[in-house]
Amino acid sequence: MNNAPAAHRLVIVGQGAIGSLLAAKAQQQHLDYGVIPRNKQPLAMHYQHLASGLSFDFTPTSVTQLSLQDIILLPLKAFQIDNALAHLTIPAEASIVLMHNGMGTIEATQTRFPSNPILAATTSYGVYKPHSNTLVETGQGKTAIGWVQHPNKTVQQCLQSFLETGLGPLYWHDNIQLALWQKLAVNAVINPLTAIHQIKNGGLQDPQFNNVIHEICQEVALVMQALNMPVTIEALKDNVREVIINTADNYSSMNRDIAAGRPSEIDFINGYIVQQANKLGIDVSHNQRLWQQVNQLAQQS
């Protein structure tokens, strides 16, 4: 049994890959949790991790059944966050955890919920759903989390125990914005390039991509430095290379979205970088080009 404080319940919004993974990890740890389905998907799930498997049923939770002690995790696409929050009846003391690729949702969430404890998290775990009721974990990653507003000690203890056990190693950041920008730089390289060229992440190890990876990281570093974040181009490139190597056999989420004709998170990744750069008067033409290319591909599908 997990030793996290029993007073808190984990409520997972949606049944995407990461949401289903969180539910599977909560099930393994025998935690009190519920799932708010966003679509009419089956509640039964089979979770496959390496040689082991776990079959279980999600515990459905109504959008009006949320309590003060709930920790509400939103492992959704960035463009789904605001709409999802608008349809939830969230008490003022319930905690909200934003968990997605890209940036741009924190400010809107703070405006909508000025009194709630809010956290931001990101994970690099490899996971996908070949079928609506099947979840496959393809590789271990790491998870970063930190407070956005109104820290709560018992909530932090609960999340730290859950995520360290389920999605560790876990890194708790006093400055989560820096960690989110570092992850944004990785996503700004891997997601659009693998979507445009329809290749696995490992395909970016080809020398033909060296120059564009350098240019993307250089532009992101300039924006981060202008925002007073300690960063170097080489550090960003090292992070990108590490993720490319560690996830070489994986397809990025944007690759799969474009291939399937689904909306992508490009507006919240390279688009967000362009938005911030424009405010600062910084040229990020490579990010601008990738933003436009992916949006063009989405329109064609």
Q: What CATH number is associated with residue 265?
A: 1.10.1040.10
167 and 215 part of one domain: no
Q: Tell me the whole-structure pTM to 2 decimals.
A: 0.92
191 and 140 part of one domain: no
Per the omega criterion (within 30 degrees of 0), is the bond before 114 cis? no
Q: Is 200 a catalytic residue?
A: no
Residue 254 placed within a domain: yes
Residue 4 placed within a domain: no
- pLDDT tens figures, 230-283: 999 999 999 999 999 988 999 999 999 999 999 999 999 999 999 999 999 999
Would you state the pLDDT for residue 42?
74
- DSSP label at residue 84: H
> CATH code at 134?
3.40.50.720
Active-site choice (25, 77, 183, 237): 183
Mean pLDDT is highest, among 141-145, 260-264, 286-290, for 286-290
- For the residues 43-64, what does the mean pLDDT come to? 86
Residue 122 placed within a domain: yes
Residue 3 placed within a domain: no
Domain extent for 288: 178-300
- What amino acid is encoded at 40 in this protein? K
85 and 119 part of one domain: yes
Strand boundaries in the chain, DSSP class E: 9-13, 33-36, 44-49, 52-57, 70-74, 95-99, 118-123, 126-131, 134-139, 143-149, 170-172
243 and 128 part of one domain: no
Per the structure, the count of domains in the chain is 2
- pLDDT tens figures, 188-218: 999 999 999 999 999 999 999 999 999 999 9
- For the residues 106-126, what does the mean pLDDT come to? 95
